[in-house]
Structure 1
Amino acid sequence: MSVAELKERHSAAIDTVNNLRHQLKQKRLSLLDTDICEYARSQGRTPVTFGPTDLVCCRTLQGHTGKVYSLDWTSEKSQIVSASQDGRLIVWNALTRQKIHAIKLPCAWVMTCAFSPTGQSVACGGLDSVCSIFHLNSPTDKDGNLPVSRMLSGHKGYVSSCQYVPDEDTHLITGSGDQTCVLWDITTGLKTSVFGGEFQSGHTADVYSISINASNSRMFVSGSCDATARLWDTRVASRAVRTFHGHEGDVNAVKFFPDGNRFGTGSDDGTCRLFDIRTGHQLQVYYQQHSDNDIPPVTSIAFSASGRLLFAGYTNGDCYVWDTLLAKVVLDLGSLQDSHDDRISCLGLSADGSALCTGSWDTNLKIWAFGGHRKTT
């Protein structure tokens, strides 16, 4: 068979696959006769009642001198790590506001940070294309700085996100501007698996966010500037399990729903969306119409412990609390007296679900405490 004939057969095969994909998409759309909100209304469900006194700013963490870009809570202790473009990681005691560690970074342009499951280590990454690991119990150098314990090098673009594999201090996953995600063995500093890149089922633009499924740590989802989210299985790195379409802008944030069967996204198109990993269907869109037609991008998201509430941070300083069931905003933290003065760049919920932390370009972090009856909402 000649090269020309092979190319012709390859082209025909691609057309066939694309046609089948289109037919499958149309079939799925035909089955989507409702969304979560419409179904909940048909069942007589009412929105959560949520007032300004149900979520109040109880502490402001001041100490960074640059924009805060990322934060993470420990899984057990009441500690928070934050990354700022002042070139430092700060580990805070969330109860006392005390700075436990102030770590000077080898690269000031940090974009992401994460606690290890035991809280003994923190990881960070940024424009240096390296994920740096710091053991918090290591002795400091002669200048009082905590040394880098391990540098995970191999990405060809900036490191946009990182997360430790649940219940393991020895493995983490990174997302990068080189369009790939990588599973790392921290002990050896080597790549275990690469997701995307040369594979056709990978992202076609920068990966900006990742979230590992707490119910099944072999599964994780990634969000990208190609306007898609993709589901991956760490046992099968060669191709994405599923690709999720719907957004019309960069997917800046992804987060698994508490039950592990769904995940949320936040995008430059100003919407949050909820997807089902089993069917691939979009279940709900969360969008607030603004009177001036300005649509602020979503920068970060998190779910409450039960999943009934979705917290979303926006570039205009708003932080909406959504009722995920009825797609209704029940509170805007940005409208409260103690709100941030600039873009909400990151947010996260404490492990026990009792507090929300938000980080901003105003250089501060704020801890919002729930009323007692709201702890598990």
Structure 2
Amino acid sequence: MSVSELKERHAAAVELTNNLKEQLKQKRQQLLDTDVAGFARARGETPVSFGPTDLVCCRTLQGHTGKVYSLDWTPDRNRIVSASQDGRLIVWNALTSQKTHAIKLPCAWVMTCAFSPTGQSVACGGLDSSCSIFNLNSPTDKDGNLPVSRILSGHRGYVSCCQYVPDEDTHLITSSGDQTCVLWDITTGLRTSVFGGGEFQSGHTADVLSVSINRTNSRLFVSGSCDATARLWDTRVASRAVRTFHGHEGDVNTVKFFPDGHRFATGSDDGTCRLFDVRTGHQLQVYHQQHIDNEVPHVTSISFSISGRLLFAGYSNGDCYVWDTLLAEVVLNLGSLQNSHEGRISCLGLSADGSALCTGSWDTNLKVNLHLILPMLSHFNAM
């Protein structure tokens, strides 16, 4: 078979694939006769009562000298780890604002960080294409630096996100610019499974930017990519994604499972957050705020409240919207309040009990906001 014949067959196959994708898209639209908000309004659901005094900034964590790129809470609610392009990880006591660790990194271009489930270790990764693990209980070296306890090497591109498998300090999942996700055994430093990137493309076709592990079934995780899709994976079947989710028109920067594990949300460069059902593959809702100008801010990070009724979304213009997930309405914009960030919101996360929201920004600061209607408030006020 000649080269020209191969090219013709390839072009015909691509055209057939695109036609089938369009047919599937049209079929999905026919099946989706309404969205979550439409169904909720039809049932007479009332909006969330949420005012500017319900979330109050009680702490500004200052100490980084570069853009903050990532943060994570410990399960005990008291500590936060943050990663910045000043080349350091800082572990904070969220109650007192004190720094308990300032870890100098082997590579200053860090993009992600995560606490282990026990809070004894932190992981980070970035442009060095590896994931570094630090044991917070290890003694410091002669220069006062905490040594790396394990380096997970194997990616052929930058490490964009890392997340420990729930209830395990021995396994974590990373995503990378090499279009793959990897499940690691931290004890041995070896890759347990590689998701995507094989000889026959069965995964993402561009950089993978984010992962979220299902807390009700830790064998499942979802990934978001620059190919404008999110994909659901089962760690027992690494050869192909369980399901691919379409709808976004830009890079999918962030993904997060809904508390019940049956749904997940995405945030994208197209300025929207979207809610998907993992069982049907359907898009359930789009969360999008109209802007007067044509500048659509990118969604950089998202997180759900404990109940799932609220979706917190950080944006590239410094806004931080609190969405009512049921009615698809913005109930509060933290970026419009006093003492808000002065730059891009790059990361955010809720404490394990849902009483506090921490946001990180390119303005080098982190801010801890308390939900005043929760009983956990007394623990913070006491400090």
Kindly tell me the number of residue pairs found equivalent between the two proteins.
376
Contact 2:355 2:374 in 1 (8 A): no
SS in 2 for 1:215: coil
Distance 1:363 1:170 in 2: 31
Residues 305-359 of structure 1 show CA distances to partners (whole Å, capped at 9, x for unaligned) of 0000000000110000000001100000000001001000000000000000000
Distance 2:354 2:13 in 1: 50
SS in 1 for 2:53: helix
Which amino acid is the alignment partner of residue 144 of structure 2?
G
Matching residue of 1:328:
329
SS in 2 for 1:53: coil
Distance 1:373 1:91, change over 3 A: closer
* Residue 35 (structure 1) shift: 0.3
Matching residue of 2:281:
280
Distance 2:103 2:38 in 1: 49
SS in 1 for 2:29: helix
Matching residue of 1:141:
141
**Aligned residues: CA RMSD:** 2.1
Residues 71-105 of structure 1 show CA distances to partners (whole Å, capped at 9, x for unaligned) of 00001241000000000000000001110000000
Contact 1:92 1:100 in 2 (8 A): yes
Matching residue of 2:217:
216
Residues 125-166 of structure 1 show CA distances to partners (whole Å, capped at 9, x for unaligned) of 000001000000011100010000000000000000000000
Residues 178-211 of structure 1 show CA distances to partners (whole Å, capped at 9, x for unaligned) of 0000000000000000001024221111000100
Which amino acid is the alignment partner of residue 233 of structure 2?
W
Distance 1:252 1:142, change over 3 A: same
SS in 2 for 1:41: helix
The residue correspondences of 1:233-248 to structure 2 (distance < 5 A) are 233-248=234-249
Q: Is 1:45 aligned with 2:45?
A: yes
Distance 1:294 1:16 in 2: 35
The residue correspondences of 1:46-85 to structure 2 (distance < 5 A) are 46-85=46-85
Contact 2:309 2:324 in 1 (8 A): yes
Distance 1:14 1:368, change over 3 A: same
Q: Is 1:339 aligned with 2:340?
A: yes
TM-score by length of 2: 0.94
* Residue 243 (structure 1) shift: 0.5
* Residue 28 (structure 1) shift: 2.2
Matching residue of 1:98:
98
Contact 1:222 1:231 in 2 (8 A): yes
Contact 1:247 1:269 in 2 (8 A): yes
Contact 2:351 2:357 in 1 (8 A): yes
Contact 2:77 2:351 in 1 (8 A): no
Distance 1:343 1:31, change over 3 A: same
Matching residue of 2:128:
128
Distance 1:7 1:311, change over 3 A: same
SS in 2 for 1:299: strand
The residue correspondences of 1:228-377 to structure 2 (distance < 5 A) are 228-373=229-374
* Residue 293 (structure 1) shift: 2.6
SS in 1 for 2:306: coil
Matching residue of 1:201:
202
Distance 2:282 2:322 in 1: 23
Distance 1:187 1:123 in 2: 13
* Residue 29 (structure 1) shift: 1.7
Distance 2:120 2:219 in 1: 23
Instruction: Judge which range, 240-249 or 193-202, deviates more.
Output: 193-202
Distance 1:277 1:206 in 2: 22
Distance 1:90 1:21, change over 3 A: same
Q: Which runs of 4+ in 1 moved over 3 A?
A: 1-25, 373-376
Contact 1:54 1:374 in 2 (8 A): no
TM-score by length of 1: 0.95
* Residue 7 (structure 1) shift: 10
* Residue 47 (structure 1) shift: 1.1
Distance 1:16 1:343 in 2: 42
Instruction: Judge which range, 49-58 or 367-376, deviates more.
Output: 367-376
SS in 1 for 2:267: strand
Distance 1:172 1:187, change over 3 A: same
SS in 1 for 2:25: helix
Gaps of 5+ in 2: 378-383
Contact 2:222 2:255 in 1 (8 A): yes
